[in-house]
Amino acid sequence: MAGRLQQLDVQAGDQVKGGAPLFALDGQTERDAARTAEAQLAAAQAQAANLQTGRRPDEIAQIEAQLAQARAQAQLAQTDAARKTALVAQAAVSRMDADAARTAADQARQRVRELEAALRTARQPARVQERAAAQAQAQAASSALAAQRWRLGQTTQSAPADAQVADTYYRLGEWVGAGQPVLALLPPAQIKARFFVPETEVASLKPGDAVQLICDGCGAPIAARISRIATQAEYTPPVIYSNAQRAKLVFLVEARPGAADATRLKPGLPLDVRRAPLQSGS
């Protein structure tokens, strides 16, 4: 993440334990984005929850009142239509008035059915597709919030393992570009010796073989085991620390010392490498 270096807890040469704080960037942009994502998630969740229920109680009560009124009007219209139909035979009411009363009664019944349907709809949740869409939007908002929280977490870094701080590249207050290292760590388990073996001898080596590393000021030889043998030959490097450079075609070999001895080696230190003596009985 890009940002201004706000906190630097270590210096070059320090030994740090895994989980120890290393540095922190000013994550104001990431914090603002996380708060925005939180608000968007809350809105999406509220929308999804709203679609799971029917309409508000007051809206349902309003429809119920309208339905009661419509039923009363329908009953009155039905009674009026029946009365006028009976009076047609006595010539007290014209047939036209009786037909109009029956039409009004039919309209009143249709109004009742309309409000009954509206009441059923008001009591039901939204359609399945609408609820699914709202749930998907809530999940998308949750994923966006998780991504923003991850970005915010990246502005503060801790040591992934016990290591030595090999170097620091920025000072407090300086701007760190995205993807740029703030410091370099060298865990003991990652220290290795690199040396070159003549092509006449490489066939006798295999990963796991024991070797001894000898360097000026290191004291007793350091035990190590071969971890890698290059699959392609190369010519002797122009600068190689060797007493004899008669071999022209060599193979790169890597060996790793034990964790306890690895700290005795420093990057770039010239080494002499020899096979470890065979143990008695082996």
Q: How many other CB atoms are there within 10 angstroms of residue 60's CB atom?
A: 15
Closest CA to 231 of 214, 263, 211, 254: 254
**Torsion angle of alpha carbons 55, 58, 63, 68, nearest 10°?**
140
How much is the pLDDT for 99?
A: 84
pLDDT digits (tens, 9 = 90+) for 74-128: 899 899 888 888 887 787 788 888 888 889 989 999 998 998 888 887 777 767 7
Which carries the bigger pLDDT value, residue 281 or residue 1?
1
User: Considering only 37-46, 126-135, 149-158, 160-169, which range has the smallest mean pLDDT?
Assistant: 126-135
Look at residue 14 and give its three-state secondary structure: coil
149 neighbors 141 (Cβ within 8 angstroms): no
How much is the pLDDT for 260?
A: 83
Here the tokens at position 73 are: 């009007």
Confidence at 240, pLDDT banded by 50, 70, 90: low
Long-range interactions of 95-98: CB distance < 8 A, separation 24+: none
How much is the pLDDT for 128?
A: 79
Q: What is the mean pLDDT of the chain?
A: 87
How much is the pLDDT for 237?
A: 67
Q: Is the pLDDT of residue 242 over 60?
A: no
The rounded distance, in Å, linking the Cα atoms of 209 and 266 is 22
pLDDT digits (tens, 9 = 90+) for 155-167: 999 999 999 999 9
Mean pLDDT of 148-153: 93
Which carries the bigger pLDDT value, residue 249 or residue 9?
9
Mean pLDDT of 13-25: 95
Task: Please list, in sequence order, all residues whose beta carbon lies within 8 angstroms of the beta carbon of residue 176, skipping any fewer than 6 positions away.
Answer: 2, 3, 4, 5, 25, 170, 182
Mean pLDDT of 38-51: 88
**Torsion angle of alpha carbons 82, 88, 94, 99, nearest 10°?**
40
The rounded distance, in Å, linking the Cα atoms of 57 and 123 is 9
The rounded distance, in Å, linking the Cα atoms of 140 and 133 is 11
166 neighbors 22 (Cβ within 8 angstroms): no
Whether this model's pTM surpasses 0.75: no
How much is the pLDDT for 229?
A: 94
Look at residue 250 and give its three-state secondary structure: strand
Confidence at 55, pLDDT banded by 50, 70, 90: confident
Q: Is the pLDDT of residue 282 over 80?
A: no
Look at residue 82 and give its three-state secondary structure: helix
- Nearest-Å Rg of the Cα atoms of the chain is 43
User: Considering only 41-55, 212-226, 253-267, which range has the smallest mean pLDDT?
Assistant: 41-55
How much is the pLDDT for 204?
A: 92
pLDDT digits (tens, 9 = 90+) for 172-205: 999 999 999 999 999 988 899 999 998 888 899 9
How much is the pLDDT for 83?
A: 85
How much is the pLDDT for 87?
A: 82
CA 260 to chain centroid, in Å, comes to 37
Which carries the bigger pLDDT value, residue 247 or residue 28?
28
Look-up of token digits 């219209």: 77
How much is the pLDDT for 156?
A: 94
